[in-house]
C-alpha cells in the first residue's frame, strides 16, 4: 500500500489495515497518529496538539524532542553502531553506563545486566533469582511471591508474576509456582489506618511463607509504588517490614523500578526513600526517557558473585547493552543531573497534587494521591462504600483527551498522571483545569453529563 504520509486520513486508513495495537479493538473508530513532540507537548497528524501528562508510557523524564540524546545516538552510530556483551566482549559506552549506574545505585548494588525493556528485565531477574539459589545448592527454591495489582510485563514469567488475572486469560498455562499476595492499597484495603494495612500484609506474607515453605521460595517481586495498579504507595513501614521477613527466610527481593527509577520519585532509585532493600532492581523507561529501548537489571555484589561462577550466567540477548542505547542513556542521565530534575519531581508533583486536590469535593472522586511525580485520582461510584466506577476509568481518560487535549491514563480504579519531570506550573494548571472540567460532569454510572 502506498499513501501520502502527510495525509491524516490516509495514515489512519493504513493504520487500520496493517497495525496491530496493544489493547485496541480493530473496530475502534479513531486513531491518534502522533508526528511530533517538544517538551510536554505532542502534535498529531491532523495538527492537533496535546499536553502529555503521561510522559508517553510514564518514561519521558526530560521531555520530548531534545537534541542531546539525538546527538549522542548519532555520534555512537557513526563510531560503533553495535557490539555484543556476550563472552568477553563489551563496548566502552556500555561499560561506562554500567559504572555510572553502579555509582547511582543504592549501597550494595553494583552490577548491571542490560536488556531492551521492562518485561525482558523482569524475565532476567526471575531467572537470576532461581539460578542463584540453584547454584548455592538450594534448587527447591522455585516459588515467586508477587502482589495482585502489580504489573511486571508480558513475558511468560513477568506476565505470571503480574497481578492482573485478566491479562493472562487465554494465554495459559502460565508459569507455575507463583503466589499472589494482596496489595498494600490503603484506600481499598478496608483497614482503619496505615499501620493496620502493613500488619495485614505482613501477616499474609508470613502465612504464605509458612504454607509454601521458606526453603521453596526464590524471591518476592514488587513495585515500590504500584503504577498500573493506580499509583498506589504502600504505608511507610511496609517495605522495611517486608524486607525483614524476606531476609529472615533467605528470600530475595526483586524491586521492579521500571517506572520509579531515574527520578520519578525524586531520587535515582525508590528504594532509598521507601526503605526497601533489594537484591535485584529492574529498571528501564526513565533510563533513556524513551529515546531508545533499553533496560538495566542491577544486582547486589552477592548475586553477581554467584552468577559469575563457573561458566557464568547463561542468559543473554542480541541487544544486551546496545552501544547506542547506552550512549543515549548517558546523555539522558546527564540532563537529569545538570537540570536537577530529581528535585522537580517533588516540587512539581506537590504543585500538581495541590491543583488537583479540590477534585476530592466531587462525589465521584474518592481520593487524589501522589508520590513524587506519580499521581492517581481514584474514581468511585459511591464514596461511602468506595465502590469503583462500573467500567473502570478508561472512557474518562478518553474524554479528557478528546475534549481538552490533555493526555492522562485510565485504569481499573484510577486515572493516572506521570508527566515529564520538566513540566511547568502553567502546564500543571492546564492539566488540572482539564480534569476539573471533565470530572465535574462525571456521574456515578461512569457516564458524562
Ligand atoms: N514493570 C513495570 C512496573 C511496568 O510498568 C512495565 C510497563 N509499563 C513493565 C514492567 C514492562 O515493561 P515493558 O513494557 O518495557 O516490557
- How large is the ipTM? 0.99
pLDDT at residue number 272: 77
Query: 254 with 126: CB under 8 angstroms?
Result: yes
Place of cell 488537583: 356
Place of cell 501528562: 53
Q: Which atom of ligand 1 is nearest to the CA of 228?
A: 5
pTM greater than 0.80 (yes/no): yes
Spatial neighbors of 94 by CB under 8 A, at least 6 apart, are: 83, 85, 114, 321, 322, 323, 326
pLDDT per residue over 17-34, tens digit each? Answer: 999 999 999 999 889 999
Domains and CATH numbers, the chain: 32-62+340-439 (3.90.1150.10), 68-338 (3.40.640.10)
Give me ligand 1 centre to Cα 151, in Å.
7
- Mean pLDDT for the chain? 96
Give me ligand 1 centre to Cα 22, in Å.
13
* Position 415 confidence tier, pLDDT thresholds 50, 70, 90: very high
In this prediction, residues 209-221 reach a mean pLDDT of 98
Pocket of ligand 1 (CB under 6 A): 57, 117-119, 122, 151-153, 223, 227-228, 256, 258-259, 284
Spatial neighbors of 111 by CB under 8 A, at least 6 apart, are: 98, 102, 298, 299, 300, 301, 303, 304, 307
pLDDT at residue number 3: 82
Q: Which atom of ligand 1 is nearest to the CA of 119?
A: 16
In this prediction, residues 200-216 reach a mean pLDDT of 98
In this prediction, residues 97-120 reach a mean pLDDT of 98
Give me ligand 1 centre to Cα 330, in Å.
21
Q: Is the pLDDT of residue 418 over 70?
A: yes
User: Which of 259, 280, 297 gets mutated to test ligand 1 (max ligand atoms within 8 A of its CB)?
Assistant: 259
User: Which of 22, 54, 118, 292 gets mutated to test ligand 1 (max ligand atoms within 8 A of its CB)?
Assistant: 118
Q: Is the pLDDT of residue 424 over 90?
A: yes
Q: How many CB atoms lie within 10 A of CB 75?
A: 13
In this prediction, residues 297-320 reach a mean pLDDT of 97
Rounded to whole angstroms, the Cα distance separating 17 from 49 reads 25
pLDDT at residue number 30: 84
pLDDT per residue over 346-404, tens digit each? Answer: 999 999 999 999 999 999 999 999 999 999 999 999 999 999 999 899 999 999 999 99
Q: Is the pLDDT of residue 191 over 90?
A: no
pLDDT at residue number 21: 97
In this prediction, residues 295-323 reach a mean pLDDT of 97
pLDDT per residue over 133-180, tens digit each? Answer: 999 999 999 999 999 999 999 999 999 999 999 999 999 999 999 999
Give me ligand 1 centre to Cα 258, in Å.
6
pLDDT at residue number 41: 98
- 194 burial level (CB within 10 Å; 0-12, 13-18, 19+): middle
Give me ligand 1 centre to Cα 137, in Å.
31
Give me ligand 1 centre to Cα 162, in Å.
10
pLDDT at residue number 1: 67
Q: Whose CA is nearest to atom 12 of ligand 1?
A: 118
pLDDT at residue number 271: 78
Helix axes 323-338, 67-79, angle to 10 degrees: 150
User: Which of 126, 154, 284, 416 gets mutated to test ligand 1 (max ligand atoms within 8 A of its CB)?
Assistant: 284
Q: Which atom of ligand 1 is nearest to the CA of 117?
A: 15
User: Which of 153, 225, 262, 293 gets mutated to test ligand 1 (max ligand atoms within 8 A of its CB)?
Assistant: 153
CA 136 to chain centre: 31
Query: 215 with 140: CB under 8 angstroms?
Result: yes
Amino acid at each position: 500500500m502506498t499513501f501520502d504520509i502527510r495525509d491524516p486520513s490516509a495514515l489512519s486508513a493504513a493504520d487500520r489495515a496493517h497495525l496491530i495495537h496493544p489493547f485496541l479493538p480493530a473496530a475502534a473508530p479513531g486513531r491518534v497518529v502522533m508526528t511530533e513532540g517538544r517538551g510536554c507537548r505532542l502534535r498529531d497528524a491532523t495538527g492537533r496538539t496535546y499536553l502529555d501528562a503521561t510522559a508517553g508510557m510514564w518514561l519521558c523524564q526530560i521531555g520530548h524532542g531534545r537534541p542531546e540524546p539525538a546527538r549522542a545516538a548519532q555520534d555512537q552510530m557513526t563510531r560503533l553502531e553495535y557490539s555484543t556483551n556476550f563472552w568477553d566482549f563489551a563496548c566502552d559506552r556500555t561499560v561506562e553506563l554500567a559504572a555510572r549506574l553502579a555509582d547511582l545505585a543504592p549501597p550494595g548494588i553494583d552490577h548491571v545486566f542490560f536488556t531492551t525493556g521492562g518485561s525482558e528485565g523482569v524475565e532476567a531477574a526471575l531467572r537470576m533469582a532461581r539460578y542463584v539459589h540453584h547454584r548455592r545448592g538450594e534448587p527447591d527454591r522455585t516459588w515467586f511471591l508477587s502482589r495482585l495489582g502489580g504489573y511486571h510485563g508480558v513475558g511468560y514469567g513477568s506476565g505470571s508474576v503480574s497481578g492482573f488475572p485478566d491479562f493472562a486469560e487465554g494465554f495459559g498455562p502460565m508459569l507455575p509456582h507463583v503466589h499472589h499476595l494482596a496489595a498494600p492499597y490503603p484506600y481499598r484495603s478496608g483497614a482503619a489506618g496505615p499501620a493496620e494495612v502493613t500488619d495485614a500484609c505482613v501477616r499474609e506474607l508470613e502465612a504464605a511463607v509458612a504454607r509454601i515453605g521458606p526453603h521453596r521460595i526464590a524471591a518476592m517481586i514488587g513495585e515500590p509504588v504500584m503504577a498500573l495498579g493506580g499509583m498506589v504507595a504502600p504505608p511507610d513501614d511496609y517495605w522495611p517490614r517486608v524486607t525483614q521477613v524476606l531476609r529472615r527466610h533467605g528470600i530475595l527481593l526483586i524491586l521492579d523500578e521500571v517506572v520509579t527509577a531515574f527520578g520519578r520519585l525524586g531520587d535515582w532509585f525508590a528504594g532509598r526513600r521507601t526503605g526497601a532493600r533489594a537484591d535485584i532492581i529492574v529498571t528501564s523507561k526513565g533510563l533513556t526517557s524513551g529515546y531508545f529501548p533499553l533496560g538495566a537489571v542491577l544486582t547486589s555484589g552477592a548475586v553477581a558473585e554467584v552468577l559469575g561462577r563457573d561458566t557464568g550466567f547463561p542468559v543473554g540477548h542480541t541487544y544486551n547493552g546496545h552501544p547506542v542505547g547506552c550512549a543515549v542513556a548517558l546523555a539522558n542521565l546527564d540532563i537529569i543531573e545538570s537540570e536537577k530534575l530529581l528535585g522537580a519531581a517533588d516540587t512539581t508533583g506537590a504543585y500538581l497534587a495541590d491543583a488537583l486536590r479540590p477534585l476530592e469535593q466531587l462525589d465521584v472522586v474518592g481520593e487524589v494521591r501522589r508520590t513524587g511525580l506519580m499521581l492517581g485520582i481514584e474514581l468511585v461510584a459511591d464514596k461511602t462504600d468506595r465502590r469503583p466506577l462500573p467500567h473502570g476509568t478508561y472512557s474518562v481518560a478518553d474524554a479528557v483527551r478528546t475534549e481538552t487535549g490533555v493526555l492522562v491514563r485510565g485504569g481499573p480504579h484510577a486515572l493516572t498522571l506521570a508527566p515529564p519531570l520538566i513540566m511547568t506550573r502553567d502546564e500543571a494548571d492546564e492539566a488540572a483545569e482539564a480534569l476539573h472540567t471533565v470530572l465535574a460532569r462525571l456521574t456515578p454510572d461512569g457516564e458524562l453529563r
